[in-house]
Chains A and B, each alone.
Chain A
Amino acid sequence: MSPEPPEPNTTASGLVSPRSPEPERPESGPRRLDPDDLSHPTGTLATGGARAATHPTAGAPSPRNRRTLLAPLPSGAVESRHTRPPGRRRSLRERIALALQERFALAALLALPLGIALAGPFLPVADGDRTQPFDPAAPWPGTDYLGTSVLDGVLDGGWGIVVTAAAATALAFLVGLPIGLVAAATRRRWLDEMLMRPFDLLLALPSLLLMLLLASIAPPTAWMLVLIVALVNLPDIARIVRAAALETAHRPAVEAMWLQGESWWRTSIGYIARSILPTVAADAGVRLVGAFYLVAAASFLGVGAGPEASDWAVMVDVNRGGIFLSPWGVVLPAALLVALSVGLNLLFDRLLARKAAA
């Protein structure tokens, strides 16, 4: 039919379950029927036809319009699924401009906090002398609870959170991927059960609670935080990998490889693991955002990477007392955390949507 590109700005189309019909499918009949029209079944055909004919673009000889004009609607057309309210149409140029705008907004949202987090520790900033805590007279953005400049803390404080979250996600996948894969690829049911059952119990606990419990008995170091966040993320990863791999493991190709006597390694690593990679990559984004959330929350609650580490979350915590005197010490790190989280969310959602559209 008409080569209409899918609207680029329905960002969440990846969320629509794959069973749902394509949003734009100009099949037959009056494309845009009003639900009000449809509530009067007798008037439907006439109104629909008239509407199509008087449509502003109806003069243009696009194939779709010609069809509506020339061929009277077959009675089956009323059965069409296009019963949703009419949306405002945008021209292609408008849509491209909008998509570009969105992309720039997203890039800005991500680049600022990520740039500060990754490059901040290496930026040469003149080490100012310590003044009094929460000094309202200090140059923007003021001083923190120790009297050092908030700017120093902001520049140095992102690195730890971002790296810890990334390391924890990587570690969780490093462990969860083989577990899920083995559980799916094995033909021994007890092994599958033994690997996956414990995760059911872990999933029954709120993740932040689990983290606080583990932190209450573990020494507070950065590595311990990586381990704990990885462990909290592990059950979900193993489940998703297993579900994806199970579907692949029952393909005829795998059966054939098995019958041919291919080695277990070749079947499970060479074929199954490779074919679930896209699913795993899509999930990795979600996990990274989740790990970021957990690391930040842990740091804020004071069970994170030791008291000497000063990341954005810790800054929010320790500078809270002076929020009336020097609000930037709290607002800046909090805003950076929110911007980074929102940016990552939107980015991964967009990637997912593109993958689903492809």
Chain B
Amino acid sequence: MLPYAAKRIGLGAVQVLAVAVLAFALVELLPGDAAVALAGDQPDPANIARIREQMHLDEPALARLGDWLAAIATGDFGASLVSGRPVAHLLATALEPTLILAGLTLILVLPLAIGLGIAAARRRGRWPDRLITTFTVGLYSVPEFALAVLLVSVFAIGLAWLPPTAVGVPSLLAEPAVLVLPLLVLLARPICSIARLVRAGMIEALDSEYVAHVRRAGVSERRVVFAHALPNAITPATAQIARTADWLLGGVIVVESVFVIPGLGTALVDAVNARDLPVVQGIAVVFGATTVLVNLAADLVAFRLAPRLEVAR
């Protein structure tokens, strides 16, 4: 376990570093003079000079890279080009709604996906399985915004059961009704992929010799499923759970935009549209580091569950 963990953590550290360098390189990749490109709609000389001075564009790139890495290590992401507020401050205010959304999704996704997968596997070939399988295959990569808009028009406008957006809500947790539709949309994709894998793993496990053996030994069906088949069935799904972090962050961006939730995703889209590069860089580092960490955790868990499968990365 330890050598593997050390190796995997080392790779994770390199990945985080690479994400930071990539975010930094965004400025370098801008066509032409970066300050002019960033000024965009307001190309007056004063504005260009301000941007150049604020981002230290006169210094050599390598020196700036060193400064940038040292700065983000201390939590200093620079200041927004548009509002002039420190990026770290922007991130802190936008973090809470995103954390609530992502956290609740992560809490809900595993029980739901595993439950669906087990239910389908135990009724293989019959209508519950066919229903679950068709749904999980069909909804696998439906664009979240389209799904969200359809749900809004049915449940918020047609039936008027739930609020259509989170506009005017002081805190997401204060009004849980606001959270229902965003969570449904966020859950759709990860549930589909994980449930499919759990179903496949469960079918294999339930057909195995050891399950036949524990059944013959008189073990109750519940124990057979949950204590014997499930731990073996779930290992292939662990790697997929890591990919979930990827989709979750992508989904959060879209879902926040549809439901007008002032989180990191909304901040990122606004910053991209306004070419506010320091903010884009800061959010990219936060998102990238989160993904790397979740991947790392999932790999370690997968290794712990089944050490014989060297999870090649």
Residues of A within 8 A of B (CB): 7, 9-12, 15-17, 19-21, 23, 35-36, 38-41, 44, 78-81, 83-85, 87-88, 200-201, 204-209, 212-213, 215-217, 219, 289-290, 292-293, 296-297, 300-303, 313, 316-317, 320, 323-324, 327, 330-331, 333-335, 337-338, 341-342, 345-346, 349
- Within the assembled complex, what's the spacing in Å between the Cα atoms of A213 and B15? 17
The reply to whether A216 and B313 form a contact with Cβ atoms under 8 Å apart is no
- Within the assembled complex, what's the spacing in Å between the Cα atoms of A200 and B203? 32
CB distance from A225 to the nearest CB of B (A): 14
- B275: CB under 8 A from chain A? yes
- Within the assembled complex, what's the spacing in Å between the Cα atoms of A307 and B137? 33
On whether A342 and B254 interact (CB within 8 A), knowing A41-B218, A215-B272, A331-B149, the answer reads no
CB distance from B36 to the nearest CB of A (A): 13
The reply to whether A217 and B269 form a contact with Cβ atoms under 8 Å apart is no
- Chain A residues with CB under 8 A of B136: 12
- Within the assembled complex, what's the spacing in Å between the Cα atoms of A292 and B157? 28
The reply to whether B146 and A208 form a contact with Cβ atoms under 8 Å apart is no
Stretch of B55-63, B69-77, B80-88, B207-215 with 4 or more beta carbons under 8 angstroms from chain A: B207-215
* Binary flags per residue of B138-161, CB closer than 8 Å to A gives 1, else 0: 111111111101101100010000
| A interface: dominant SS | helix
The reply to whether B212 and A81 form a contact with Cβ atoms under 8 Å apart is yes
Q: What residue in chain A is nearest B204 (Cβ atoms)?
A: A20
The reply to whether A87 and B269 form a contact with Cβ atoms under 8 Å apart is no
- B96: CB under 8 A from chain A? no
Which residue, B136, B146, B147, B152, has most C-beta atoms of chain A within 10 A? B146
Stretch of B18-26, B44-52, B107-115 with 4 or more beta carbons under 8 angstroms from chain A: B18-26
Q: What residue in chain B is nearest A161 (Cβ atoms)?
A: B143
- Within the assembled complex, what's the spacing in Å between the Cα atoms of A316 and B152? 12
The reply to whether A209 and B147 form a contact with Cβ atoms under 8 Å apart is no
The reply to whether A342 and B142 form a contact with Cβ atoms under 8 Å apart is yes
CB distance from A21 to the nearest CB of B (A): 5
Query: 23 A-B pairs, CB-CB below 8 angstroms?
Result: A10-B125, A10-B129, A11-B133, A39-B215, A39-B220, A88-B126, A200-B11, A205-B284, A207-B250, A216-B271, A216-B275, A217-B26, A296-B143, A297-B143, A303-B272, A313-B146, A320-B149, A334-B145, A341-B142, A342-B142, A345-B137, A345-B138, A349-B137
On whether A345 and B126 interact (CB within 8 A), knowing A38-B215, A39-B220, the answer reads no
11 additional A-B pairs beyond A334-B153, A345-B139, beta carbons within 8 Å, are A10-B124, A10-B129, A12-B133, A23-B203, A44-B216, A81-B209, A83-B211, A212-B268, A213-B284, A323-B157, A337-B142
- Within the assembled complex, what's the spacing in Å between the Cα atoms of A207 and B201? 27
- B295: CB under 8 A from chain A? yes
The reply to whether B145 and A316 form a contact with Cβ atoms under 8 Å apart is yes
- Chain B residues with CB under 8 A of A296: 143, 145-146
Residue from B143, B249, B273, B313 in contact with A209 in the complex, judged by beta carbons closer than 8 Å: B249
Q: What residue in chain A is nearest B205 (Cβ atoms)?
A: A20
On whether A217 and B196 interact (CB within 8 A), knowing A10-B124, A81-B212, A87-B124, the answer reads no
- Within the assembled complex, what's the spacing in Å between the Cα atoms of A342 and B141? 8
Q: What residue in chain B is nearest A36 (Cβ atoms)?
A: B221
On whether A205 and B221 interact (CB within 8 A), knowing A200-B15, A293-B141, the answer reads no
- Within the assembled complex, what's the spacing in Å between the Cα atoms of A341 and B137? 10
